[in-house]
Structures are given as C-alpha cells and as structure tokens.
C-alpha cells in the first residue's frame, strides 16, 4: 500500500504520542515534588537541629559572652515582639485608613496611580528601607534604636496593609452602604461601623499576614536596630531581634552559637507558622445555624 | 423650627403640624395633602439624561405606585426622592423637589437630613451582617447618637410590630439579622427604616426577590402603613400596583407619561402608551 | 396579635443630632492623607538614596557602573562586580525557578486531583513564608556542604569542559546563591503562573482535544502558547523579587567582589555588599558609594517590577497587585 499523506496518525505514532503525554505528566509531578521538597527539608532541619535546644534557659537567658557555651535568646525574642508592636503602630493606622480611601473615596484615575505606587513600594528591596530609615532616624539621633527598627518595619507594612484592606473593603456589597446611608447615617459612620466592621476579619488577617512578613525581615534591621547582646537600655538604643541574632550566630565560628541559631530559627519559624494558621482559621467561611 | 426636630414628631401636640401628620388619622376623601411636590425635575448621569422634566404631586398618607418597563427611569426617580442618586459621581439635577414644602435640594440641607425624613427599602433585603435583629432595627437611631435605652427598647418593639415581625422574633432578638428567611429579612429592613420615624417610605421593588407568601405578607403590611406614612413604591408587577396603590404613575423613557388614580390607569388610561403597557402589549 | 400600622403611638424621644458635615470632611481628609503617605514614602526613598549617593555620583560619574575596583583603603569604588553578581545570581534563579514553577503550576491546573490541589498550594504558600535568614542558615549548614561534597563535584565531573564549571569548589559560590534565590522565588512564580494558566479559556483546550490531541499536546498547543505572555510576566516578577534578596544570598554566595566565568566562584551582589559593609564603612565616600549601589539596586528593581506589573495587568486585569 503506497504511503500516501495520511491525515490519521499511524498506530505507532499514536502510541508514541500517548507515551509522551504520560511521561510529561510524570515530569510535572516530579517538578511539583521538587518545589515542595525544600520546605520539608528546611522544617526537618529546623526541628532536628533546634528542638533539643529549646529549654527554659533558651527563652529566659541572655546570650553568654563570646565563645562561652550556653545562654539564650530572651532579649531577641522580646526585641522581635517590641519591634513588631512598633511596626503595627505605624503600619496599621496608615495602612487601614489608606485602604479605606482607596476603597471608599477617590476617583478611578487617582486610585489607580495610588495602587500602582503601593505595588512599587512593595517591590522595594528591604535593605533599601534599612538605608532610608538609617539616614532618616539613626543619623540625626546619632544612635541605633528600636524606634528606627520599628519605623523601618512599619513603613514596609503600610503598602501591604493598604492593599489587603482595600481588597476586602471592595468586597463588601454596595447594598449595605446604601441601606445605611438611606437611614440617614453619616458617610463616615457608615464606613466605620458598617463597612469596616463587616470586613473586619479580612482586615485583621491582612494585618497578621503583614506582621508575619516583617517579623522575619533582617535586612532593614541591620542598620537600624543593629542588634544587642544584652537587654536594650531603652527604646532609643540598639535592640536585639530574632532574625538579627540568628544571622549573627550563623556567621560566627562557634558551634554553640550555631546550635542556638537553629533554635532561634525554629522559634521564629514557629511564630510565623502559628500566625499563618491563625489567619487560615479566621478566614474560614462561617455558616449560620 | 430647625431641620433636626423635623425628623421626629415633637412631644407637645401644640407645637407642630408634624404630630397631626404622624398620628393615625383617617383622611376625609378628597382632602389631599401633598407630600412630594415635584416641578420640572430632570436628572443626568454625566451626559446621559435619565429623567425629563417630571412634574408630579404625590399625596401624603397614600400609596403611590411607579410603573413602567425596564430602563424607564422609575428607580432613578425614586432614588432622586431621597437624593440617593448622589452616591454615583457625576449626576446632576434641575427643577425643584419639595417634601411638605421644604426644598430637598436646597444648599442649606444636608442629604443626610433628607434621608432621615425619607426612608428607603431596597429590592434585595440587606440587614447588616454583623448585627443582631435588634441591632439592625435600631441601627439608624444608635448610629445617630440616640442612647436612651428605654426609648430604644420601645422603638424596637414599635417598629417590629409595624413591620409585622414582632411576634416572630421577639424571643430571638439577639440572633444575627441574616439568620432570618428572605421575607423576614425584608420585613426587618422595613422595621429598620421605620424605626427612625421617617415621614415617607420609598420602596424599590421590595417583593421581587420574595416568594408569593412572603410577598402577600409585605403587601398587607404596606396597606396598613399607609395610615401613617406616605409610601411610594416602584414595581414591575402591575397586579401588585393595582392591588396596593391609590395612585399610579406610568413612566416611559424617562418621562412621566400618565399619573392618575390607580383605577383610572388600569381601567381607562388616557394615554395610548399607558394602555399598551398595562394591557401587556409591551414592557 | 400583630397589627401592623395600628401599633401604640410611636414613642417620641430626643431629636436626632443634626449631621455634622465637619465629621465627614475630616474623615475623608484623614483617609486621603493616609493614602498619600504612599506617595510621600516613594519620594522619601528616592530622595534619601539620591542624597546619600550624591558625592559618589559626582565623583565617579557613569563609569562607576563599569568599574571593577572596590578598594575602601584607597577610596576607589566601582559597581560592576556587584551588578554582575546580582544579574548572574538572578539569572540562575530564573533558569531554575521558571521551568519548575510553570511545571508545578501546570501540574496543579491540569493533572492534580482536586483534593490534592489545596494541600499542595498550602505547602507552596508556607514556603513563601520562610524568612530569608532561615533559608540562609539552612543554606550554610545543610545545602552548601552537600553541594560542595556531592553536587558540585558531579557537575564539574560531567560538565567540566565548560568554563562555567571550572575552577576550585569552595561551596559558597554564585551557583549556590542562584539556587537559594530560586527556592525563594518559586512560590511567586508558581502562584502567578497558576493564575495565568487558569485564565486560559476552556474553549481553547476543548478545541485542541476535539482535534484528537493528547493531554500533553493540548497543554503545549492550546494552553502554553496562549499563556506565553503571562508566564513571561510571571518570570519578570520573579526576577524583580530575585534582585532584592539579601540575607540568604549573603550567607551563601561567598562575598568576594570578583567577576568570574565560573559558577563555583564566590560572588557578591548589590544587596549583599550593602548588608555586609554598611556599618563598617569608615569614610564618607565609602558610605556614599554604598548608597550609590543602593540607588542602582533600587532603580533596577523598580524598573523590573514596573515592567512586570504592566505585563501582568493587561492579562490578569490588575489582580497582580496582591502578590506578596
């Protein structure tokens, strides 16, 4: 039979094509596994290397002098919490109110530019924030400080919180706003008591996500909070933080500090994971009885 | 008399004609006090004109129905009565619109004040999701600064009774507003609107999302509300308009085509367009 | 019995307070000011960097970008090794992360059983939550030793004829930096690619199936070609993230300002040198030079991010903003 140009694939061709399809499916699956693997590896190592070091001493003691074995990261843990609190004081009001403006007021054109600007800010490397706040707060006050660290983290939070707040506010159905306004309730009250309250869970989860993000940031703290092996004298003095301590210990030549770096990393990771779990929990759909 | 006291009937009966208006009274036939007096009213959304020179007088303590095919401007007209169209940027109006003699669009009046006097119920019931039944009803009062708990309690019961909902919810006032059925939610919204004691009530197709039984309940409610309030209802359901209203206005393409007693509109309309619409030949 | 409309006379109470226009205006202005902090922040960042870099810019001019000397002792500075390091490590990261990310996104949209999708997505999101410094820690003590003793040796054995894989193996290297950044940008590349792939209309797939194509052929012909531009946008967005990574890179890249053809050689990136040397900067010019590096990094990152936003905006209709 002359082999004319056949529109129908031969048996052999079909088998090959189907085989190729199966192979590609397997390749995709392998890639997906490869992408997930690092998380498990990192978590495994964190627990394996760090869990045994998590004792009472670790959470309550200060670092020991260079080279000595023992000690803990109490100041770093407290420092992280203090910095996060300060970051929230800056990031939450500006972020939420800014999100309110984007969602409830403003014209389309202006808001598009504002959103664009927020996205640009979100893409700025965190080390640049460190340099900026260094020039802004550390140089004039002639000291590294917790304030500077908190401000650096807080400024990073503002565009994050603004975008997430706007997203949830926009989801609130217009009907609620209209109903409230039709009752003669003032516009600002409508926004605060009806719209924001309806979207409150979403706003809070957005804030938590932003906090979890900045909790792990080291670069902005390198030249603002600087780090401290003792308790900070005041908020206007250098302060320790978990990421800073982990970084310093990891680069050091001491095995004991390496061990503690793993432990500190485990604590930091646990903090972040717990926050993410909390966010997931809050984001569940509630059903009415 | 300041605008503020207009929104609530004053206590001493001698003070104001307001009291007489809101007390249950039977109006002698033919005694038509005008609630809304609208002259030459036009409305634009940007460059698009939606209402053309509407002149109409809506009587007090009666039910007036606004009918017409989709896009005829009936909802636009309704929303102009409590300045809700101003939520869309770029709208403007011309002409005058008075409520019991007060120009609602004068620069001396805040739209918020207008909306306290003119209540509105929407097509899709929208009880505030984060509030209980009681909180929903009282939202308009509480969010305007009323704190007296005894007064609020009384108002709560009165409004729910007027909305024919009290017996059904009096034991579960703390339940979320959204846990009620569709028809109950709409009555809740009516109670919420009535709680602030408006002078008039606007209803934008209030039953279109409800089943026939819930619709019947609300229609009965509307008939009874008429003794106290001026009701203006937009509806695409002509039978409903015929059942409920004392007067009917037919709108088409942004113009008021015909306005008369309901019987006349449905039995012997003067305008051929009206006749074509009510007999179902278009719309 | 409920008698609507015939209730007891409505209790009258205190008149409602007149609405205060002032409160509405004040609230609106407060919200506006809050939103404008964004603009203020951009201005602040730009100005501080420009101001801090000033003297160095004036002193070295445009040649700064191509100069390979970095000598604090004699106060001579050039940005080239760092620009080189940033670009190469990011390129390596893209080469690894984009195919893996797109493949994973394909797996999630085309092959994965529905029940597996959510857990996998969750795991990838958790990967995104791991801080850079923890990746760095893991990099130093787990990844580098393994790569130094096994992976790099194998690479050199198999591909040593290429200049890329020649030279001494220390462990800390440009390649290590690229690999760790790849791990860190995988979540975002995967997530955006997933969105892009999901936006491919089913009609395209169905048409291909109707022609008798196998699953893979449908993907190749109908899905990937349609999604090509979006995936490119996802890659650019990943690049934007890669450029700014600091901590993990600093900990594994070796921190030597040299330009080498070998991937096993240590490198240095713009962000790393700033992180390492900022607090040690002894002279004013040193600091200015570091600021100038920061300025270069900022401009590079902003340009790439803006490009990515523009590309993705036209495709996902503005949904790209929420990526963290």
Residue B144 near residue B186 (C-beta atoms within 8 A): no
Question: What average pLDDT does range C141-150 have in this prediction?
Answer: 93
Residue C144 near residue C170 (C-beta atoms within 8 A): no
Please report residues of B whose CB lies closer than 8 A to that of C17: 4, 144-145
B107 interfacial to chain C (CB closer than 8 Å): no
pLDDT (tens, 9 = 90+) of chain B, 283 residues, equals 343 434 444 333 333 333 333 433 333 445 578 999 999 999 999 889 999 999 999 999 999 999 999 888 899 999 999 999 888 888 899 999 999 988 999 888 888 889 999 999 999 999 999 999 999 999 999 988 888 899 999 999 999 998 989 999 989 999 999 999 988 999 999 999 999 999 999 999 999 888 899 899 899 999 888 888 999 999 988 889 999 999 999 999 999 999 999 999 999 889 998 988 988 877 6
- Cα gap C193→A31, rounded to integer Å: 14
Q: Is residue C96 part of a domain?
A: yes
| DSSP per-residue letters across C197-216 | HHTS-HHHHHHHHHTT--HH
**Burial degree of A151 (CB within 10 A; 0-12, 13-18, 19+):** buried
Residue A152 near residue A136 (C-beta atoms within 8 A): no
Residue B77 near residue B233 (C-beta atoms within 8 A): no
Which two tokens mark A191?
């926004």
Q: How confident is the model at residue A285 (pLDDT cuts 50, 70, 90)?
A: low
Domain-wise residue ranges, chain B: 3-278
- Cα gap B93→B42, rounded to integer Å: 6
Closest-CA residue in chain C for A249? C137
Say yes or no for a CB contact (<8 Å) between A122 and C324: yes
Task: Please say if the pLDDT value at position A61 is more than 50.
Answer: yes
**Burial degree of A93 (CB within 10 A; 0-12, 13-18, 19+):** middle
**Burial degree of A50 (CB within 10 A; 0-12, 13-18, 19+):** buried
CA B108 to each of CA A61, B112, B114, B197: distance values in angstroms, whole numbers, following the listed order: 68, 12, 11, 22
- Cα gap C302→A124, rounded to integer Å: 7
C1 interfacial to chain A (CB closer than 8 Å): no
B2 interfacial to chain C (CB closer than 8 Å): yes
B228 interfacial to chain C (CB closer than 8 Å): yes
* The pLDDT of residue B283: 66
Preferred mutation among A44, A167, A219, A278 to probe C, highest tally of C CBs within 10 A: A219
Residue given tokens 């975002």 in the structure block: C188
Q: How many residue pairs from chains A and C have C-beta atoms closer than 8 A?
A: 270
Residue B53 DSSP one-character state: E
Residues in B lying within 8 Å of A, measured between beta carbons: 7, 82, 84, 87, 89, 112-117, 119-120, 122, 124, 126, 128-130, 139-140, 143-144, 176, 178-179, 189, 192-193, 196
Residue A107 vs residue C315, higher pLDDT:
A107
Which two tokens mark A228?
């401290």
Distance from the A100 Cα atom to the nearest Cα atom in chain B, whole angstroms: 16
- Assign domain B3-278 to its CATH architecture: 3-Layer(aba) Sandwich (3.40)
Residue given tokens 């019987």 in the structure block: B263
Which two tokens mark C4?
């609507």
Closest-CA residue in chain B for C24? B112
Distance from the C259 Cα atom to the nearest Cα atom in chain A, whole angstroms: 23
* The pLDDT of residue C268: 94
C12 interfacial to chain B (CB closer than 8 Å): yes
Q: State the complex-level ipTM.
A: 0.90
Query: Alpha helix (H) ranges present in B106-181?
Result: 111-117, 133-142, 149-162, 166-169
- Cα gap C86→C240, rounded to integer Å: 11
CA angle C201-C207-C209, nearest 5°? 110
**Beta-bridge partners for B203:** B121, B233
Task: Give the A window 257-286 contacts with C, CB below 8 Å.
Answer: 258, 261-262, 265, 268-269, 272-273, 276
Residue C73 DSSP one-character state: T
Closest-CA residue in chain A for C40? A117
Over the range A108-146, which residues count as b (16 or more CB within 10 Å of their CB) and which as e? Answer: eeebeebbbbbbbbbbbbbbbbbbbbbbbbbeeeeebbb
Please report residues of C whose CB lies closer than 8 A to that of A136: 44, 48
**How long is chain A?**
289
- Cα gap C278→C323, rounded to integer Å: 30
Say yes or no for a CB contact (<8 Å) between B4 and C15: yes
* The pLDDT of residue A157: 96
Strand arrangement, sheet containing B34-45: B48-59, B34-45, B91-99, B102-103
Residue range C64-114, pLDDT digits in tens: 888 888 888 888 888 999 999 999 999 999 999 999 999 999 999 988 888
Please report residues of C whose CB lies closer than 8 A to that of B145: 16-17
- Cα gap B189→B206, rounded to integer Å: 10
**How long is chain B?**
283
Say yes or no for a CB contact (<8 Å) between B120 and A182: yes
Please report residues of C whose CB lies closer than 8 A to that of B113: 18-19
Say yes or no for a CB contact (<8 Å) between A185 and B7: no
Say yes or no for a CB contact (<8 Å) between A219 and C246: yes
Domains detected in chain A: 59-282 (1.10.3720.10)
* The pLDDT of residue A24: 87
- Cα gap A225→B94, rounded to integer Å: 62
The mean pLDDT of chain A is 90
Q: Quick one: which of B145, B203, B193 has its CA closest to A193?
A: B145
Please report residues of C whose CB lies closer than 8 A to that of B165: 2
Residue range C17-67, pLDDT digits in tens: 556 678 888 999 999 999 999 999 999 999 999 999 988 888 888 888 888
C16 interfacial to chain B (CB closer than 8 Å): yes
Q: What are phi and psi of B258, to 5 degrees?
A: -150, 145
Q: Quick one: which of B57, B6, B20 has its CA closest to B36?
A: B57
- Cα gap B40→C218, rounded to integer Å: 63
Q: What are phi and psi of C199, to 5 degrees?
A: -85, -5
DSSP strand pairing (B63-67 vs B230-234) = parallel
Distance from the B114 Cα atom to the nearest Cα atom in chain A, whole angstroms: 7
Closest-CA residue in chain A for C26? A188
Task: Please say if the pLDDT value at position C214 is more than 90.
Answer: no
Residue C300 near residue C242 (C-beta atoms within 8 A): no
Q: Residue B87, Cβ neighbours under 10 Å: how many?
A: 15
Radius of gyration of chain C (CA): 27
| DSSP per-residue letters across C132-189 | HHHHHHHIIIIIHHHIIIIIHHHHHHHHTTSGGG-S---S-SHHHHHHHHHHHHHHHH
- Cα gap C133→A247, rounded to integer Å: 6
Task: Give the A window 41-70 contacts with C, CB below 8 Å.
Answer: 41-42, 45-46, 49
Among C1, C4, C17, whose Cβ lies nearest the Cβ of B224?
A: C4
Task: Give the A window 106-125 contacts with B, CB below 8 Å.
Answer: 107
* The pLDDT of residue C3: 47
Please report residues of C whose CB lies closer than 8 A to that of B22: 10
Preferred mutation among C17, C34, C314 to probe A, highest tally of A CBs within 10 A: C34
Say yes or no for a CB contact (<8 Å) between B112 and A289: no
Among A28, A95, A243, whose Cβ lies nearest the Cβ of C133?
A: A243
Among C23, C103, C130, whose Cβ lies nearest the Cβ of A31?
A: C103
Please report residues of B whose CB lies closer than 8 A to that of C4: 161-164, 220-221, 224-225
* The pLDDT of residue C17: 56
Residue given tokens 């997430």 in the structure block: A164
pTM: 0.86
CATH number of the domain that residue C283 is part of? 1.10.3720.10
Judged by DSSP in three states, A85 sits in helix
Preferred mutation among A14, A105, A127, A268 to probe C, highest tally of C CBs within 10 A: A127
Q: Quick one: which of B143, B132, B142 has its CA closest to B170?
A: B132
B22 interfacial to chain C (CB closer than 8 Å): yes
Closest-CA residue in chain B for A186? B112
Residue B40 DSSP one-character state: E
Residue A8 vs residue C284, higher pLDDT:
C284
Q: How confident is the model at residue C316 (pLDDT cuts 50, 70, 90)?
A: low
Among C9, C15, C19, whose Cβ lies nearest the Cβ of B8?
A: C15
Residue C220 DSSP one-character state: I
Q: How confident is the model at residue A5 (pLDDT cuts 50, 70, 90)?
A: low
Which residue segment(s) compose the domain that C128 sits in?
59-322
Half-sphere exposure in the Cβ direction for A27 (13 Å, CA): 13
Chains near C, with 3+ CB pairs < 8 A? A, B
Say yes or no for a CB contact (<8 Å) between B164 and C17: no
Say yes or no for a CB contact (<8 Å) between C14 and B148: yes
**Beta-bridge partners for B42:** B94
Task: Please say if the pLDDT value at position A1 is more than 80.
Answer: no
Please report residues of B whose CB lies closer than 8 A to that of A183: 115-116, 119, 139-140, 143, 192-193, 196
């Amino acid at each position: 039979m002359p082999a004319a140009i056949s529109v129908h694939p031969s048996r052999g061709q079909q088998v090959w094509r189907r085989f190729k399809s199966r192979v590609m499916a397997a390749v995709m699956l392998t890639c997906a596994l490869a992408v997930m693997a690092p998380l498990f590896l990192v978590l495994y190592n964190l627990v394996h290397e760090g869990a045994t070091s998590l004792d009472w001493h670790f959470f309550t003691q200060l670092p020991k002098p260079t080279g000595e074995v023992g000690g803990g990261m109490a100041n770093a843990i407290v420092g992280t919490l203090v910095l996060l609190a300060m970051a929230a004081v800056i990031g939450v009001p500006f972020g939420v109110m800014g999100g309110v403006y984007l969602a409830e007021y403003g014209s389309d054109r202006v808001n598009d530019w504002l959103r664009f600007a927020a996205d640009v800010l979100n893409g700025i490397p965190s080390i640049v924030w460190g340099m900026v706040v260094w020039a802004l707060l550390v140089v004039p006050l002639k000291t590294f400080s917790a304030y500077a660290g908190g401000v650096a983290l807080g400024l990073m939070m503002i565009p994050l919180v603004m975008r997430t707040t706007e997203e949830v506010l926009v989801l609130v159905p217009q009907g609620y706003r209209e109903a409230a306004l039709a009752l003669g309730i003032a516009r600002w009250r409508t926004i605060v008591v009806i719209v924001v309250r309806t979207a409150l869970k979403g706003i809070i989860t957005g804030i938590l996500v932003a906090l979890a993000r900045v909790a792990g940031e080291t670069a902005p703290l390198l030249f603002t909070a600087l780090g401290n092996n003792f308790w900070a004298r005041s908020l206007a003095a250098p302060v320790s933080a978990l990421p800073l301590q982990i970084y310093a210990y990891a680069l050091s030549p001491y095995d004991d500090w390496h061990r503690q770096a793993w432990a500190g990393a485990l604590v930091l990771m646990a903090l972040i994971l717990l926050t993410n779990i909390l966010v997931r929990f809050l984001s569940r759909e509630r059903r009415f009885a | 008399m300041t605008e503020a006291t207009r929104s609530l009937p004053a206590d001493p009966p001698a003070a104001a004609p307001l009291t007489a208006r809101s007390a249950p009274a039977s109006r002698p036939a033919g005694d038509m006090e005008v609630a809304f007096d609208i002259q030459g009213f036009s409305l634009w959304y940007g460059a698009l004109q939606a209402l053309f020179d509407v002149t109409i007088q809506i009587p007090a303590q009666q039910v007036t129905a606004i009918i017409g095919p989709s896009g005829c401007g009936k909802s636009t007209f309704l929303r102009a009565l409590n300045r809700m169209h101003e939520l869309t940027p770029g709208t403007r109006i011309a002409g005058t619109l008075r409520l019991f003699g007060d120009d609602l669009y004068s620069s001396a009046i805040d739209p918020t004040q207008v909306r306290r006097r003119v209540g509105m119920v929407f097509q899709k019931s929208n009880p505030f999701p984060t509030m209980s039944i009681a909180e929903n009803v009282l939202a308009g009062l509480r969010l305007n600064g009323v704190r007296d708990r005894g007064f609020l309690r009384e108002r709560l019961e009165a409004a729910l009774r007027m909305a024919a909902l009290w017996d059904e919810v009096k034991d579960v006032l703390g339940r979320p507003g959204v846990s009620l059925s569709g028809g109950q939610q709409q009555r809740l919204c009516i109670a919420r609107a009535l709680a602030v004691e408006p002078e008039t009530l606007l209803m934008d197709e209030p039953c279109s999302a409800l089943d026939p039984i819930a619709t019947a309940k609300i229609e009965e409610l509307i008939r009874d509300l008429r003794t106290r309030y001026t009701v203006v209802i937009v509806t695409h359901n002509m039978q409903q308009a015929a059942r409920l209203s004392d007067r009917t206005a037919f709108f088409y393409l942004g113009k008021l085509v015909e306005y008369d007693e309901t019987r006349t509109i449905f039995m012997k309309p003067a305008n051929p367009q009206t006749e074509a619409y009510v007999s179902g030949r278009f719309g | 019995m409920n008698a609507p409309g015939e209730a007891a006379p409505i209790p009258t109470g205190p008149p409602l307070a007149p609405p205060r226009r002032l409160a509405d205006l004040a609230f609106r202005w407060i919200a506006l000011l809050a939103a404008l902090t964004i603009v203020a922040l951009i201005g602040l960042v730009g100005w501080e960097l420009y101001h801090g870099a000033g003297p160095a810019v004036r002193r070295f001019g445009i040649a700064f970008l191509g100069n390979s000397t970095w000598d604090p002792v004699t106060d001579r500075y050039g940005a080239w090794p760092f620009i080189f390091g940033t670009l190469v490590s990011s390129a390596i990261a893209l080469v690894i992360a984009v195919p893996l990310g797109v493949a994973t996104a394909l797996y999630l949209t085309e092959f994965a059983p529905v029940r597996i999708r959510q857990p996998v997505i969750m795991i990838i999101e958790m990967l995104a939550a791991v801080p850079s410094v923890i990746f760095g820690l893991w990099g130093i003590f787990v990844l580098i030793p393994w790569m130094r003793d096994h992976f790099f040796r194998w690479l050199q054995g198999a591909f040593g004829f290429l200049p890329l894989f020649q030279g001494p193996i220390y462990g800390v290297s440009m390649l290590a930096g690229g690999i760790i950044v790849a791990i860190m940008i995988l979540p975002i590349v995967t997530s955006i690619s997933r969105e892009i792939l999901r936006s491919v209309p089913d009609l395209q797939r169905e048409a291909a199936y109707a022609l008798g194509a196998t699953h893979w052929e449908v993907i190749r012909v109908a899905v990937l070609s349609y999604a090509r531009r979006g995936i490119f946008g996802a890659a650019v967005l990943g690049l934007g993230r890669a450029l700014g990574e600091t901590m993990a890179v600093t900990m594994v890249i070796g921190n030597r300002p040299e330009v080498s053809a070998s991937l096993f050689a240590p490198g240095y990136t713009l962000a790393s040198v700033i992180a390492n040397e900022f607090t040690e900067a002894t002279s004013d010019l040193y600091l200015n030079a570091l600021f100038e590096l920061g300025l270069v990094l900022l401009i590079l990152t902003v340009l790439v991010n803006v490009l990515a936003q523009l590309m993705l905006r036209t495709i996902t209709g503005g949904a790209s903003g929420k990526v963290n």
